[in-house]
Structure 1
Amino acid sequence: MSVAMKKVMALFSVLTLAALLGVVQGAYLPLGQWLYEHATDWEASLYGFEQQQVDIGDMQLALYRNHNPGKPVIVMLHGYSADKDVWPRFARHLTDDYQILIPDMAGHGDTEFRMDWDYGMVAQAQRLSRLLTALEIEQAHIIGNSMGGYLTAIFSLYHPQQTLSATMVDPAGLTSPKASDLEKMLAEGRNPFLINNRQEFDEFYAMTMAKPPFLPDMVLEAVAHEYMNRREELAKIFADFNRGIGLQQKLPQLQAPAMLWWGTEDRLLHVSAVETWRQALPDMQVHIWQDIGHMPMVEVPRQAAERYQAFLTALE
């Protein structure tokens, strides 16, 4: 077992002990909130990632970054309502050979939200382009999950000169022949991302992954409260990023080497959408993750990183 993994296991022992102490001392939610805010940053630091704030003109984008000068750059993009913390366990397997940037896009994580900002994919792609320019990075491999997969495709289309490759992981952006659980709920007038109580959060969280990693209940309680507190913000972001921009018609113009991943147990975006993406990009590589949900980079991080590195190595 690696030193880093031993430290991670020690971290989760601390988390479990903290959960027990929280029950005893009546500080369950405050402790959970503290752990939610700090434990993931500490874990990312074990893998060699530093936190930065980068000025891109109209805002400061928060990000994780490792320093590996002269190596190719990978940008990893989170999904709607998520943040940069979904990527470090995947990214740590790639730090020897790549420079890695994991930003919190506008309105997410440690990057500010403002109600008057545009959270549509074209606007977010422009911000990502400005981030690369600010860091003096000419080109990067882009990989994104869910909304981040949608953003990966849009960035590759609108900023091809900055794109080395595009990997979409269970991406939003195109309709699927079969409706997912999320799409069925939206059709009934309920958005499961807009949480009112812990029960709704637990139902939503179960939709996000088939094999979620362990988290103490007190941390899940803190995440649930964060969703409840951000209902208005999340509703604004959801409306903006779901504005139709004709991705189906634009995708055939994507010139960068492309790969698509999907989990067979994805309840947010149905795996049948793979065929829609294939029709638009028949030459892209496709991998279907068996018994995995919406977030393979979280559910099977080592296996996912190995497959991604094989894809990148083949491009060299």
Structure 2
Amino acid sequence: MALSSRTAWIANGIAGALILLFVVALWRDPGLAMRAEFAKQRIRLGAESHSVVVGDHRWVYAELPADKPDAPTLVLLHGYTGSKENWYRVATALRGRYRIIMPDLPGWGESERREDTDYGYLAQAPRVAAFLQQPEVSHGKPVALAGHSMGGGIAALLAADYPTLVSHVALVNAAGVRFAPNKFAREVLAGQNPFVLTDDASLERYLSTVFHVREARPWLPWPGTSLYIAQRRSQADFEARVLTRIGRDEERFEPGRRAVKIEQPTLLLWCRHDLVIPPEAMGLYAQRIRHASQVMLEDCGHMSLMERPRETADAIAWNIARGAPALPPGKHE
């Protein structure tokens, strides 16, 4: 009996020590729990995690293999405050049809962030071009490219300035053109960051701004919400610097200006209720791109890739499959 009690005491002590170590680890690195949850999602998707050093940054990306070895490669670029995991729902809908590469852009997610480094459009586009030229990424062939929001602006620059690297391009709720300022844009131009997170109230504002469909919001196990707020709070200065580049500096319109050079088959996909980049931006891009087709999705907001992943995936697949410019399936304008 005494031995059993002593064993239980030791076991409880070890368990308590492990819990304490976990709590300390979370306190020192609030992103630890997020990364663990994202790793679980990646494994469930069937994707593998890779890292590669390109230039002065270490990139981390997820790769989902195709069913056939000669399938096209599709590269998916996330948006501002986002990460590669934003594309997992679309990747699920496309699984098997393409070899899918989902990177964390430099400065974001698990990829390297360097102090006093520019992460605006004009700095990121050459970095992505160098990433696409890595043999393990492109297999030496042009890739189909899709970008969401800020990633859409970067994708537009890639298609325009590096045409030999990109076979098809999809701009999804893409930033980079001058539109009549909405509430979000007015706040940005006034020097604010509408995406800044400090507490539960600001998190709710952020989610209600980017998601029109409440049920599509990502779910995090306890204490994921608090840890996510802590992580975002810790990188507030970084987010502010990037937002200045892509939302206030003159380069914020560079993707739209250079879009006139895009010759690849191009998909423009928007949501009717986007409160960040309004649907009129789709038409402004369409005026600049000769081979652009437009798809407007109903009942979704800025996060079409998470709110309407099946429709988004179908439109991207259609754009990759098409030859000469034509009208895509579904509603168009």
TM-score by length of 2: 0.80
Please state if 1:258 is matched with 2:261: no
Contact 2:52 2:60 (C-alpha < 8 Å) held by counterparts = yes
Contact 1:54 1:60 (C-alpha < 8 Å) held by counterparts = yes
1:281 match: 289
1:90 match: 90
1:57 maps to amino acid: G
Of 232, 241, 264, 1:236 maps to 241
Q: Which of 1 and 2 has greater Rg?
A: 2
Contact 1:107 1:237 (C-alpha < 8 Å) held by counterparts = no
2:305 match: 297
Counting only pairs closer than 5 Å after superposition, residues 85-234 of structure 1 correspond to structure 2 as 85-134=85-134, 135=136, 136-177=139-180, 179-211=181-213, 212-216=216-220, 218-234=223-239
2:6 match: none
Please report how far the alpha carbon of residue 108 of structure 1 lies from its aligned counterpart in structure 2 after TM superposition: 0.2
Contact 1:173 1:247 (C-alpha < 8 Å) held by counterparts = yes
Please report how far the alpha carbon of residue 270 of structure 1 lies from its aligned counterpart in structure 2 after TM superposition: 1.3
Of 263, 276, 279, 1:271 maps to 279
Of 18, 27, 52, 2:50 maps to 52
Please report how far the alpha carbon of residue 311 of structure 1 lies from its aligned counterpart in structure 2 after TM superposition: 2.3
**Alignment partners' CA distance in 2, 1:139 and 1:180:** 36
| 1:255–1:112 Cα change, 3 Å | same
Where do 5+ consecutive residues of structure 1 fail to align? 1-25
Please report how far the alpha carbon of residue 151 of structure 1 lies from its aligned counterpart in structure 2 after TM superposition: 0.6
| 1:81–1:214 Cα change, 3 Å | closer
**Alignment partners' CA distance in 2, 1:309 and 1:241:** 28
1:22 match: none
1:39 match: 37
- Segment drifting more, 260-269 vs 205-214: 205-214
Deviations 1:40-85 (A, max 9, x none): 2212222221111111131111100023332211000000111001
Deviations 1:94-127 (A, max 9, x none): 2312111100011100011112222122321211
Contact 1:60 1:111 (C-alpha < 8 Å) held by counterparts = yes
**Alignment partners' CA distance in 2, 1:126 and 1:104:** 15
Q: 2:258 aligns to what SS in structure 1?
A: helix
Contact 1:147 1:172 (C-alpha < 8 Å) held by counterparts = yes
Where do 5+ consecutive residues of structure 2 fail to align? 1-22, 325-333
1:20 match: none
Please report how far the alpha carbon of residue 258 of structure 1 lies from its aligned counterpart in structure 2 after TM superposition: 0.6
| 1:43–1:158 Cα change, 3 Å | same
Please report how far the alpha carbon of residue 282 of structure 1 lies from its aligned counterpart in structure 2 after TM superposition: 4.9
1:100 maps to amino acid: I
2:80 match: 80
- Deviating runs (4+, > 3 A) in structure 1? 29-35, 245-249
**Alignment partners' CA distance in 1, 2:192 and 2:77:** 26
Contact 1:259 1:285 (C-alpha < 8 Å) held by counterparts = yes
RMSD between aligned residues: 2.4
Deviations 1:227-253 (A, max 9, x none): 111111111222233443443332211
**Alignment partners' CA distance in 1, 2:308 and 2:211:** 11
